[in-house]
Every structure is written in structure tokens, then in C-alpha cells.
């Protein structure tokens, strides 16, 4: 292969990137089925940079450049501005000469780039004549062709950092150049990426967001170009999307290490990916793991919760089908009569003994957990088309989390539930709760559960259950911020201990021993051996706080949480869980409590009515005016749950149907079909009265 750097490149060359096969391949840092996290580099990886080349002296300031621009705009004479852009973007050395600030920069947090000057030059670029804009692009082409070989200096990194901010890449006509820039950045070493991540997080929130959105748009356009001939054939540039996604992962890493994050993690989702064959992506990721075969699943931050939910559902369906097929084949091979109930996880419970019956059924049928769930309430007519299942979940969760039951403690200050620390010989009921949560995800049921986010972090530690039953699970590093989610008052007190300026030992009079109330009795626990004889001092208070927080959130509830963890993973034993953030697991388990009745109105379907009929107009007038509590009751009445699925209200397929009965009848619902049936009420007052009575007294019917 000939060296690109030895070639003479003409600025006027038609398309230097026609020779892209001679550029280096992208270094695809593919993770082997593990969560993509920020790289923490060991010292040996942080190799010193080669010595920087001599940089010519360029003295133009931001103010001088802005004055040059003003003169050019007024006079129409762009010669000085043209010369500046032509020179500055001619090479990496010239880029550094123009934008490198004075002084020595030895930390990862300081790029040594004059950000104010870079911003001024780029903000002005799109308002310059076309020939200047073209000259900048030609300069970048020549720089990239010249610079891709050899070891990287810190000045090279600065040049990449500056070039990736160029606003010209918003146009598809520049995508070939942009793609090669992204390819070279993606192929940098791990140590180089470490520097870039820390530099990127220093960008303003507005510019950071613009760069993220530009990368997302680039990926979307490459996947689905507006015009067939708008971009080169996909077969010749299959590396575009992997390169862009890898660079986007640097922005995601920068966002993750920023406190608070620069932008919500959901803004990294690319909704275009909801329209690709994401199961093929998932299978590629499962089959090729640590290889050069690209899959979006290697970079799960880009996949929306909608896609992840669909992957889990389809993966679950495959497991369900596999389980059912095995049962069927086993029966046939033994020449036994085939009962179609074999295809389901059939749960039969009595309402009066709901909890004990459910526990017995799930323990007895634990080999069938991955079959389709079907619930029957003993002594009640009705075929479970989904509504009875939803009601079973709702009633069971309500009973388990009742404060009188004692499994969970409701924290009033944080308005969430946490595991009770009482000790017992059998933690099967905690396993039941975990199994319930797993079944809810598996069967796409939203539960009204209020765990803190830290609980879902524990649930993903590790994201797949270890084969060794004795291996530790759920032992996530706990911080004061995590305790703040659950016990804010205690977290505040421990924070005051850490910042106290006086004599800690004499004024607080604490030891490394803590006390907990369990079933009405106060018990003491040493945070370390001999803790009751070790005083807390100014020197060891950090250790005390860390051990105390770890005790509260991990050790004191370990057996309870381990049973809960194994219950959840006995159902959701899927590689797809590795794609999820704790926040996304919470969304899958609980749905969203945010109700948008206007969105429900837009998505509603009608049977026997049209949206202009008097009854329908009265219905929406009443519902939109309802307080939140009644809106939740309405949703529960019609769907069996008062929460919104991951895909939003549109995913409910909510239907309003007409029933020809007298108007003194109450509305009825078919929760399995997310359907509400309304008699032809004539007035708003009449409809409001009847609807309020129906939704306030709905529990216990369950007839489908």
C-alpha cells in the first residue's frame, strides 16, 4: 500500500477521498457483552505523547479577527479573512498555531485551546463567501490525508478536537469529509480518547448538544438518505456508522462524568434506530461479542427504551416459545395427551389467600416462568385475555408493599420503599417480589412500585445472574448521594459530620457501632471488628460514613436483596439486560407515572362512536378536567394499570365503545382490551357522575 503522506495533494483535487481504501481501518473497540462504561486508564496505558513539533507564531486575537470580519462585511473585501481561513485550516500545525493558547498544558482537563477564538471563527464561517467555506473544507481534506499516519502528539489531538466542532458538517455535501474525520478520531488510542472525553466535557452545553445532534443526524441520514444518490453507496462506506457511533460514545462518556450531566441521557437516543432490524443487531452482538463486527448493541446509550423493550420482549417471546415447545415435545414423545395448558404459566389463586396462593403457585411452577402468563381467580368466571393478569399484579403488589406486612419500609421523606432489615429463616417472599417484577417485564405489565434508583443499580450488579449461587450479587458501591435517595435526613446528618469543624470525637461521641430497630427490638452492629470500642474522629470519619452507608444499603439487607435479585433474574435471564441503564429498568418495570390525557385523546380509537359525538366530547371534557388522582383511577379502570407504558399513551391502543343500554347504567370496561364502554349519556353532568362512581369502585370485577 502506498503512503498517503508521500503523495502530493492538490487543493483543487476533485475528491481526494475517492482513495478511502488507503486510509487506516477503524479500530473497533467492541465490548464483549459488558456494559459500556467510561474508560478508567491504568498508569501504563497513559503513555507520554511524542514531543510536539515547532509551531509557527500566529498572533491574531479574537477581537482582531472580529474586526477583520466587520470590515469585510462592510467593504466587500474578503482578502484578509480569506487568507486567515486558508492558512489556519491548511494543516494540523497551522490549526494549533492559530488556536493554541499560550502556556504549558499538562492535565487532561485543559486542552490548551483558546475556546473563545475557536467559537468566533466557526460562528463567522457560515456567513463568509462560498469560496472561503470551500477553501476550509479543502484544507481539512489535505490535513486529514497528511496526518493519519504516525504517532499522535497532543497538538494532533487539539486539531481533532477543533475540527470536530466545525459547523459545516451539518450539510450532507460535507459528509464524506466528516466521515473521514470521524474515522480518524475513532481510530485513536484509548489514552487519546481519554483526553478527548475530558476536553469535550468543557464545551458549553449549547455547543456540546449541537455536536451530539450533528452526529445523530449523520447516523440517521446514512441509514436513511433522503435521496438515493445523496451519499456514496453504503457498501463502499460501511465504516461511516461505526466511526460516528464510536465518536458519539466519547460524547456520552463526557456527559456521564459531568456532574450534573450536560444533557439528559435520553437525548443520546437515536429514534431512527426504531425502524431498523434491531433484532439482527442484537443477534450480531450476541454471536460476535468481542470482534470487529459492529452492532449498535455495543453502544446501548444510542438505543431508545422503546427499542430495548422490544428486544427484551422478542427475546422473551423466543424463550417462551422454546419452553412451550420443549413441554410439547416431551408430552408427544411419551405418547401422552397434549393439554394446551402446557403452553402457559397458569396461576390459579383465591382472592382471600392471594399472597400465599401466588407464592405456592410460582414456587411449584418455577420451571414454567418463561411461558406466557395466564391468571385465574378461583370461583370467578372469565378468560384471561390480559386484564386478569394485570389485576393480579396490581392486587399482589398492593398487598406486599403494605406497611402492615413488614417486608418493605415506606420512607416518607423520599416517598419510596426500601427493604426491611429484619432477619428470618426464609426469604422466599422477597424472591416472589423479584419474580413478580421479572414476570411484569417479561409480560409487558407496568407495576406501581416505588423503589429508589439505587435499587435498580443493585439489580444490574451483575446484569446477568452468576452461575455460582454463592457469588455475591447486588453489592454496588454506595455513596452518600445514594443514601440521599432513600433516607435524606440521615444522609444530611452524615454530611454534616463530614464537614464539621469542631472536635468530632467529643462532640458527636460516636463509635463504629450502629443500632437498628428490627421487629420492635433495637439491635447493635459493629461496622468493623471491635467497632464498639473505636471512636469516630476527624481522621476516620470518612471511613465511618462509608461503612455506615454500605451497611444500610448493602450488608444489612443482603439476604433479602439476594433473594429478590435471584427471583427477578430467574425470569429475566437475558443478555438484553446488559443494554439497560438503571433508569431504563425502572421504566420497564413501572412504566411512567406521568399521565398525558391529551396524548391519550389523540391516540384513542372509537367503536360505535365518532370523536365528534356528544358523549365522546363530554367524556374528554370531563377527563381532561379531572384531578390527577381520578385520571389515574380512570386509567386503572380501563387498562388494569394506572401507569403509562414505555412507548407512551399511543401504545395503550385505548378504545371507547358504545353500548346500547339505558343511561342510568354505569360505564363498564374490558381491561384486557384497554377498552371503556359508555352508554349514550346526553349531558356532561350525567357522564361525570356515572364515570366517577364507576372508576372509584372498580376493583374486584375482573370479568373479561
Which residue ranges make up each domain of the chain?
Answer: 62-276, 597-697
Return the C-alpha cell found at 237: 462506506
Residue 94, helix vs strand vs coil: helix
33 pLDDT exceeds 70? no
Rounded CA separation 251/93 (Å) = 25
C-beta of residue 645 within 8 angstroms of C-beta of residue 443: no
Place of cell 398487598: 399
DSSP 418: E
- Tens of pLDDT, residue by residue over 226-285, are 888 889 988 889 999 999 999 999 999 999 999 999 999 999 999 999 999 999 999 999
Of residues 376, 322, 323, the one with CA closest to residue 346? 376
Return the C-alpha cell found at 382: 372469565
φ, ψ for residue 270, nearest 5 deg:
-110, 105
- Tens of pLDDT, residue by residue over 474-531, are 999 999 999 999 999 999 999 999 999 999 999 999 999 999 887 778 899 999 999 9
Rounded CA separation 225/220 (Å) = 8
Non-local (6+) Cβ contacts of 450 within 8 A are 401, 415, 416, 417
Q: Is 222 exposed, middle or buried (0-12, 13-18, 19+ CB in 10 A)?
A: buried
Q: What angle (nearest 5°) sits at the alpha carbon of residue 398, between those of residues 392 and 399?
A: 90
Residue 155, helix vs strand vs coil: helix
Least confident window among 355-359, 369-373, 498-502, 613-617: 369-373
CA distances from 441 to 223, 271, 297, 418 (A): 30, 22, 20, 20
34 pLDDT exceeds 50? no
Q: What is the DSSP string of 331-354?
A: HHHTTPPPPGGGGEEEEEE-GGGH
Of the ranges 105-109, 448-452, 568-572, 654-658, which is most confident? 654-658
Rounded CA separation 114/186 (Å) = 24
Whole-number percent of the chain with pLDDT over 90: 61
315-319: long-range contacts at Cβ-Cβ below 8 A with a sequence spacing of 24 or more? 315/282, 315/574, 315/575, 315/576, 316/370, 316/441, 316/442, 316/572, 316/574, 319/370, 319/574
Rounded CA separation 423/561 (Å) = 12
User: What is the third-level CATH fold of 597-697?
Assistant: Hect, E3 ligase catalytic fold (3.30.2410)
Q: What is the mean pLDDT of residues 384-404?
A: 83
Q: How many CB atoms lie within 10 A of CB 275?
A: 11
pLDDT tier for residue 190 given thresholds of 50, 70 and 90: very high
pLDDT given for residue 11 in this prediction: 39
- Tens of pLDDT, residue by residue over 667-690, are 999 877 889 999 999 999 999 999
Name the CA radius of gyration of the chain, rounded: 31
* Alpha carbon 648 to chain centroid, angstroms: 16
Return the C-alpha cell found at 618: 363530554
Rounded CA separation 687/614 (Å) = 11
173 pLDDT exceeds 90? yes
- Tens of pLDDT, residue by residue over 70-79, are 999 999 999 9
Return the C-alpha cell found at 164: 470536530
Three-state secondary structure of 23-75: CCCCCCCCCCCCCCCCCCCCCCCCCCCCCCCCCCCCCCCHHHHHHHHHHHHHH
Of residues 131, 167, 148, the one with CA closest to residue 17? 148
Residue 346, helix vs strand vs coil: strand
pLDDT tier for residue 402 given thresholds of 50, 70 and 90: confident
Non-local (6+) Cβ contacts of 578 within 8 A are 33, 34, 35, 300, 463, 464
Of residues 136, 232, 150, the one with CA closest to residue 184? 150
pLDDT tier for residue 549 given thresholds of 50, 70 and 90: very high
pLDDT given for residue 152 in this prediction: 74
Give the torsion through C-alpha atoms of 556, 557, 559, 563, to 10 deg. Answer: -170
pLDDT given for residue 445 in this prediction: 81
DSSP 524: E
Count the alpha carbons within 13 Å of 95 in the hemisphere toward its beta carbon.
29
672 is annotated as an active-site residue: yes
pLDDT tier for residue 39 given thresholds of 50, 70 and 90: very low
Which comes out higher in pLDDT, residue 402 or 199?
199
pLDDT given for residue 448 in this prediction: 79
- Tens of pLDDT, residue by residue over 315-363, are 877 877 777 777 778 777 877 776 666 778 899 999 999 999 999 999 9
Return the C-alpha cell found at 132: 472561503
φ, ψ for residue 657, nearest 5 deg:
-120, 155
C-beta of residue 391 within 8 angstroms of C-beta of residue 640: yes
Q: Is the dihedral of CA 592, 595, 598, 601 positive or negative?
A: positive
Least confident window among 8-22, 32-46, 102-116: 8-22
pLDDT tier for residue 127 given thresholds of 50, 70 and 90: very high
Q: How many CB atoms lie within 10 A of CB 25?
A: 10
C-beta of residue 393 within 8 angstroms of C-beta of residue 349: no
604 pLDDT exceeds 80? yes
Q: What is the DSSP string of 469-513?
A: TTS--S-----HHHHHHH-HHHHHHHHHHHH--S-HHHHH--BSE
C-beta of residue 84 within 8 angstroms of C-beta of residue 125: no
C-beta of residue 432 within 8 angstroms of C-beta of residue 445: no
Q: How many CB atoms lie within 10 A of CB 102?
A: 6
Rounded CA separation 513/529 (Å) = 10
State the maximum Cα–Cα separation within the chain, in Å, rounded to a whole number.
95
Q: Is 233 exposed, middle or buried (0-12, 13-18, 19+ CB in 10 A)?
A: exposed
Length of the chain: 704
From the list 297, 416, 618, 672, the catalytic residue is 672
Of residues 263, 240, 366, 303, the one with CA closest to residue 36? 303
pLDDT given for residue 405 in this prediction: 85
Of residues 439, 471, 474, the one with CA closest to residue 460? 474
290 pLDDT exceeds 70? no
To which H or E segment does residue 330 belong?
helix 305-333
Of residues 125, 102, 238, the one with CA closest to residue 171? 125
C-beta of residue 408 within 8 angstroms of C-beta of residue 420: yes
Amino acid at each position: 500500500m502506498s503512503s498517503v503522506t508521500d503523495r502530493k495533494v492538490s487543493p483543487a483535487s476533485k475528491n481526494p477521498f475517492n482513495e478511502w481504501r488507503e486510509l487506516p481501518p477503524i479500530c473497533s473497540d467492541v465490548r464483549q457483552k459488558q456494559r459500556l462504561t467510561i474508560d478508567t486508564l491504568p498508569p501504563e496505558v497513559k503513555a507520554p505523547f511524542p514531543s510536539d513539533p515547532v509551531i509557527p507564531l500566529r498572533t491574531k486575537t479574537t477581537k482582531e479577527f472580529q474586526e477583520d470580519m466587520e470590515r469585510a462585511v462592510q467593504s466587500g473585501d474578503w482578502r484578509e479573512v480569506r487568507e486567515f481561513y486558508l492558512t489556519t485550516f491548511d494543516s494540523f500545525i497551522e490549526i494549533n498555531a492559530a488556536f493554541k493558547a499560550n502556556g504549558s498544558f499538562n492535565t487532561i482537563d485543559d486542552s490548551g485551546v483558546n475556546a473563545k477564538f475557536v467559537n468566533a471563527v466557526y460562528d463567522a464561517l457560515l456567513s463568509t463567501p462560498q469560496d472561503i467555506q470551500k477553501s476550509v473544507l479543502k484544507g481539512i481534506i489535505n490535513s486529514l490525508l497528511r496526518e493519519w499516519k504516525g504517532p499522535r502528539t497532543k497538538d494532533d489531538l487539539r486539531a481533532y478536537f477543533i475540527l470536530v466542532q466545525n459547523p459545516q458538517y451539518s450539510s450532507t455535501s460535507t459528509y464524506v469529509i466528516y466521515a473521514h474525520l470521524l474515522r480518524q478520531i475513532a481510530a485513536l488510542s484509548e489514552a487519546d480518547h481519554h483526553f478527548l472525553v475530558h476536553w469535550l466535557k468543557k464545551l458549553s452545553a449549547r455547543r456540546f448538544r449541537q455536536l451530539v445532534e450533528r452526529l445523530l443526524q449523520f447516523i440517521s441520514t446514512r441509514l436513511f438518505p433522503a435521496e438515493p444518490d445523496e451519499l456514496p453507496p453504503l457498501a463502499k462506506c460501511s465504516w461511516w456508522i461505526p466511526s460516528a457511533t464510536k465518536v458519539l460514545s466519547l460524547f456520552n462518556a463526557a456527559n456521564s462524568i459531568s456532574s450534573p450531566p450536560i444533557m439528559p441521557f435520553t437525548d443520546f437516543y437515536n429514534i431512527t434506530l426504531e425502524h431498523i432490524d434491531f433484532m439482527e443487531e442484537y443477534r450480531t452482538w450476541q454471536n460476535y461479542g468481542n470482534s470487529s463486527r459492529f452492532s449498535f448493541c455495543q453502544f446501548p446509550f444510542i438505543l431508545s427504551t422503546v427499542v430495548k423493550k422490544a428486544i427484551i420482549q422478542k427475546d422473551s417471546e423466543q424463550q417462551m416459545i422454546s419452553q412451550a415447545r420443549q413441554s410439547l415435545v416431551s408430552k408427544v414423545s411419551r405418547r401422552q395427551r397434549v393439554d394446551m395448558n402446557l403452553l402457559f404459566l397458569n396461576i390459579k389463586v383465591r382472592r382471600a389467600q392471594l399472597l400465599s396462593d401466588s407464592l405456592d403457585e410460582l414456587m411449584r411452577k418455577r420451571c414454567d416462568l418463561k411461558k406466557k402468563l395466564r391468571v385465574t381467580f378461583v370461583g370467578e368466571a372469565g378468560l384471561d385475555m390480559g386484564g386478569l393478569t394485570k389485576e393480579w399484579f396490581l392486587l399482589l403488589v398492593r398487598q406486599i408493599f403494605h406497611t402492615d406486612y413488614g417486608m418493605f419500609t415506606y420512607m416518607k421523606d423520599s416517598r419510596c420503599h426500601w427493604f426491611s432489615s429484619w432477619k428470618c429463616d426464609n426469604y422466599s417472599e422477597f424472591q416472589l417480589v423479584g419474580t413478580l417484577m421479572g414476570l411484569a417485564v417479561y409480560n409487558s405489565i407496568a407495576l406501581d412500585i416505588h423503589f429508589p434508583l439505587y435499587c435498580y443499580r443493585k439489580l444490574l450488579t451483575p446484569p446477568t445472574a452468576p452461575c455460582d449461587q454463592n457469588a455475591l450479587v447486588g453489592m454496588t458501591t454506595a455513596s452518600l448521594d445514594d443514601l440521599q435517595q432513600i433516607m435524606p435526613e440521615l444522609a444530611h446528618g452524615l454530611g454534616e459530620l463530614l464537614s464539621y469543624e469542631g472536635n468530632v470525637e467529643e462532640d458527636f461521641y460516636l463509635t463504629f457501632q450502629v443500632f437498628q430497630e428490627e421487629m420492635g427490638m433495637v439491635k447493635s452492629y459493629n461496622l468493623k471488628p471491635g467497632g464498639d470500642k473505636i471512636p469516630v474522629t476527624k481522621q476516620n470519619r470518612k471511613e465511618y460514613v462509608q461503612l455506615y452507608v454500605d451497611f444500610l444499603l448493602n450488608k444489612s439487607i443482603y439476604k433479602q436483596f439476594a433473594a429478590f435479585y435471584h427471583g427477578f433474574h430467574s425470569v429475566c435471564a437475558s443478555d438484553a439486560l446488559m443494554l439497560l441503564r438503571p433508569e431504563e429498568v425502572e421504566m420497564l418495570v413501572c412504566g411512567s407515572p406521568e399521565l398525558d390525557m391529551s396524548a391519550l385523546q389523540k391516540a384513542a380509537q372509537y367503536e360505535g362512536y365518532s370523536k365528534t359525538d356528544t358523549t365522546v366530547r363530554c367524556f374528554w371534557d370531563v377527563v381532561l378536567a379531572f384531578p390527577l388522582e381520578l385520571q389515574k383511577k380512570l386509567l386503572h379502570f380501563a387498562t388494569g394499570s394506572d401507569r403509562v407504558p414505555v412507548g407512551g399513551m399511543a401504545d395503550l391502543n385505548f378504545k371507547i365503545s358504545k353500548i346500547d343500554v339505558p343511561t342510568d347504567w354505569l360505564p363498564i370496561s374490558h381491561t384486557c382490551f384497554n377498552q371503556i364502554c359508555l352508554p349514550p349519556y346526553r349531558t356532561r353532568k350525567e357522564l361525570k357522575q356515572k364515570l366517577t362512581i364507576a372508576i372509584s369502585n372498580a376493583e374486584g370485577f375482573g370479568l373479561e
